[in-house]
Amino acid sequence: MINRSPPVVRQRRPGLWLGTFEAMKSPCEVCVECADENQAHVLVEQAANEAWRIEEKFSRFLPESVIGRINRATGWQPVDEETMALLKLADTCWQATDGLIDITIGAVMCLWRFDGQSPPPPRHVVAEARKSVGWDKVELRTDAVRLKEGVQLDFGGIGKEYAVDRVGMQLLQALPKGGVLVNFGGDVLAARSKKDGQPWHIGVETLVGQEKQSGLALVTGAVATSGDTKRFAVDGKGQRLGHVLNPKTGWPVPHGPATVTVVGGTATQAGLLATCAMLQGKYAGDFLAREGVRHYIQWPK
Amino acid sequence: MQLNKKLGLAVASLLVSTQGHADDWLVDSGMLLYSETDSEGQDRVSVVEPVVIATKEYDTNDFFRYTVVFDALTGASPNGAPALTVSQEFPGFVVAAGETPLDNGFEDQRLAMGVVRGKPFDHGASRYEMGANFSVERDYLSLGSSLLVAKDSADKQTTVSGSLGLSFDVISPRGGLRPEFGSIFDTVTAPSGRFTLKDDDDDEDEDGYEDDDDFLEGEKKLTLEGLIGISHVLNQYTVLSANYGLSLSNGYLSDPYKVVALLDTNGRAEDYLWEKRPDKRVRQTLAGKMVTALGEHSLHLSYRYFRDDWGIASHTGDMEFYLRAGDKWQLRPHLRYSRQSAADFYVPYLAASDDLPTYASSDYRLGGLTTATAGMKIIYHLPDDRRISLNLEQVKQNPDSWDGLTLNSEWIAEGPPSVTFYAITIGYRTKW
């Protein structure tokens, strides 16, 4: 179990409540429009519980999580419906992106330190770990999964966005009328527009020293960002290496964007597309233009 | 654009599937109306059959399915004796020359119920289905059970399955048990045309039927069936499947209401004997099926070969198109053709001058028979996964003529008449 601080609820303006809490190592926010303060508290608590539930269930860092159990096991592991649905999504993504999105990246991911100063791991170490990467080393049945030896699943690339969508859907059900916005560390779902029809304003994080962007206006829809302005490694020449790894090499794609922000229908979908774009390197913009989605790219200085 | 679309669909299905589905009942209800006319213009059997199938599905292959069928049959069916060039006298009624004798006043109700439990095991790579069923009529009781086990290959492209079924039937004919090859003149005839054994008339009710006090007292039949099958996904368009079935029946396999005419040297009926079939039957089937996707439509082709140790062999070809017309409509035109050869003991009549054979039956369903079916199913989809359907089917059964089957075919006015029947099924599927 993780020690959690209870969520904090504040009134932003009459009838608009902002709840904040921590989950998945990110600051999380939910905005709900309702008259009653008690109801706002109940809704925020429900949102926090759902986010924490997903974190505890799918974090690869928690040995008691479903993913921790699957990663340790040998042979077939029975899995519940929700896990299976996520594994099926991972399967579809892997096929649709020709292997660019691969949740078995875990074995390589843990070699990197993206703290803004650490060097990349030695090449031969990455190459060795790469042997345990590959969705084709995972077998799925209708209610069970089996990993080849050494393979580690990591829902890090999907989990947070999935949590945003789930929390958004739950709040919609719990609150029949009124605006709902979910923002987990920059992955955002505007699940329902505000009562006055005005769009939600979503800030986009910027690189230090770069011109500040005005942010995004969104009536409904989702925004997800891949890449991080603070999380990167530095190679021998002082070059930034972003924290999105190419599963086929185990290395970040060179000359790629610092961050990619994509607008979509759900946070999960936008997040997956943003990750794909990061892996296109300098062609990220062309790629997103071809997919016909609203997007914002920040390039490193 | 392509990728975004695919991801969108995949995420939508993720979010829907993890929302948790309500434990709905899927209820299929239907009403079958069936009527049959022969080529002599005589109305035959008509059936009204309401059916309800309720399925509670917890997960893929994890379900309970309950089936209830009620049949009301009325009408007439040939009693087996051929149409002769002279009139025929049965106990209680006379059939004119050139007409096929029918067993009139045929009326029955049947109630059938079944339950199937399906469950996956071996982490979903295998599944089993266990079933039990019974059906009851005034003169018939059937109890059955079945077990099916299926297993998918690791890549899920191939499924092998095996099933076993056991059924136990009790036949207690109205009017008493008929001694096989006994004369029907040893019976009395109810006003309906039904026969009753003469020495068994002490507990008849008003309409000449015997009370069904001792229901399990009757002729018995035991059937054991096994089936092995394989289905294989050939590519993204085509699925092939094949199966082999073996069924062993033991016990009373005759039809208690069918007779065989015993003709004298002048072609007149001297007597009518209750038919007699062997008390064992071994049936084998070999079937293949192919389903091919043609864009949003699909074509279902199948072929089935059947043979038994009574000498019957049949070939059946079946073709069905599944056509989609917009989001709401589905059309399924359907054609089937079947050709069957006659059982070894199938005879139009027996000659009184000859010794009785070991077995004999004149039931046209055991004779050479060509059956052609044309049908069309129309399905209209309503909101919330509900749908209504209408299935129209015309079936034409053409028994082979008796030319060449018999030495004195000139006595027989004509072979068994061909039969045309129509079946209309109205169906409604909903969730509860």
For residues A7 and A143, state if they share a domain: no
In this prediction, residue B394 carries a pLDDT of 94
For residues A132 and A264, state if they share a domain: no
Helix (H, G, I), strand (E, B) or coil at A294: coil
For residues A114 and A163, state if they share a domain: no
B6 contacts on A by Cβ (under 8 Å): 92, 96
Q: Find the mean pLDDT for residues B164-171.
A: 95
For residues A97 and A216, state if they share a domain: no
Q: Regarding beta strands B350-351 and B259-263, do their DSSP bridges make them parallel or antiparallel, or are they unpaired?
A: parallel
For residues A74 and A220, state if they share a domain: no
CATH code where residue A266 lies? 3.10.520.10
Interchain proximity A264–B123, CB inside 8 Å = no
From A88, A143, A269, residue closest to B8, measured CB to CB:
A269
pLDDT score of B204 more than 50: no
B1 contacts on A by Cβ (under 8 Å): 290-292
For residues A159 and A148, state if they share a domain: no
pLDDT score of B404 more than 60: no
For residues A91 and A211, state if they share a domain: no
For residues A161 and A252, state if they share a domain: no
B59 touches chain A (CB under 8 A): yes
CATH code where residue A101 lies? 1.10.3980.10
From A89, A143, A291, residue closest to B11, measured CB to CB:
A89
pLDDT score of B312 more than 50: yes
Range of the domain at A17: 1-59+155-196
Give the start-end residues of each E strand in B205-312: 219-233, 238-251, 259-263, 269-274, 280-294, 297-308
Neighbours of B206 (CB within 10 A): 7
Interchain proximity B7–A96, CB inside 8 Å = yes
Transcribe B150-193 into DSSP letters.
Answer: EEE-TTSSEEEEEEEEEEEEEE--TTSPPPTT-BGGGEEE-TTS
A266 contacts on B by Cβ (under 8 Å): 8, 11-12, 15
B3 touches chain A (CB under 8 A): yes
For residues A119 and A246, state if they share a domain: no
**Complex ipTM:** 0.85
What is the per-residue pLDDT across B14-50, written as a single tens digit (0 to 9) for each? 887 766 555 568 888 988 888 887 777 666 777 788 8
CB pairs under 8 A between A and B: 83
HEC per residue, B114-156: EEEEEEEECCCCEEEEEEEEEEEECCEEEEEEEEEEEEECCCC
Residues of chain A with pLDDT under 70: 1-2, 204-214, 229-230
Residue in the structure block whose two tokens are 């005759």: B254
Q: How far apart are the CA of A268 and the nearest CA of chain B, in angstroms?
A: 7
Q: Which long-range contacts (CB under 8 A, 24 or more apart) does A135-140 make?
A: A135/A90, A135/A91, A135/A94, A135/A99, A135/A102, A135/A103, A135/A104, A137/A104, A138/A87, A138/A104, A139/B154, A140/A84, A140/A87, A140/A88, A140/A91
A97 touches chain B (CB under 8 A): yes
Domain limit, last residue, from A100, A130, A154: A154
Interchain proximity B123–A141, CB inside 8 Å = yes
B14 touches chain A (CB under 8 A): yes
Domains and CATH numbers, chain B: 31-431 (2.40.170)
Helix (H, G, I), strand (E, B) or coil at A120: coil
| pLDDT band, residue B284 (cuts 50/70/90) | very high
A82 touches chain B (CB under 8 A): yes
A286 touches chain B (CB under 8 A): no
**Which of A142, A169, A226, A279 best tests the B interface by mutation, with the highest count of B CBs <10 A?**
A142
- This prediction has a pTM of 0.63
What is the per-residue pLDDT across B341-384, written as a single tens digit (0 to 9) for each? 999 999 888 888 888 999 999 998 999 999 999 999 999 988 77
| pLDDT band, residue B195 (cuts 50/70/90) | low
Domain limit, last residue, from A146, A170, A196: A196
CA A213 to chain centre: 22
Q: How far apart are the CA of B125 and the nearest CA of chain A, in angstroms?
A: 6
| pLDDT band, residue B247 (cuts 50/70/90) | very high
How many distinct structural domains can be found in chain A? 3
B18 touches chain A (CB under 8 A): yes
Transcribe B2-69 into DSSP letters.
Answer: HHHHHHHHHHHHHHHHTT----PEEEEEEEEEEEEEETTS-EEEEEEEEEEEEEEEEETTEEEEEEEE
Q: How many angstroms separate the CA atoms of A15 and A120, rounded? A: 49
Domain limit, last residue, from A179, A196, A213: A196
Mean pLDDT of chain B: 84
Angle at alpha carbon of residue B43, lines to B141 and B368, rounded to 5°: 70
B15 contacts on A by Cβ (under 8 Å): 165-166, 169, 266, 268
For residues A299 and A245, state if they share a domain: yes
Q: How many angstroms separate the CA atoms of A193 and A187, rounded? A: 17
For residues A14 and A46, state if they share a domain: yes
B162 touches chain A (CB under 8 A): no
From A81, A92, A142, residue closest to B6, measured CB to CB:
A92
**According to DSSP H, which parts of chain A are helical?**
37-58, 66-72, 81-96, 106-109, 123-130, 156-174, 267-278, 284-291
Element (H, E) at B258: none
A66 contacts on B by Cβ (under 8 Å): none
For residues A208 and A276, state if they share a domain: yes
From A97, A266, A276, residue closest to B15, measured CB to CB:
A266
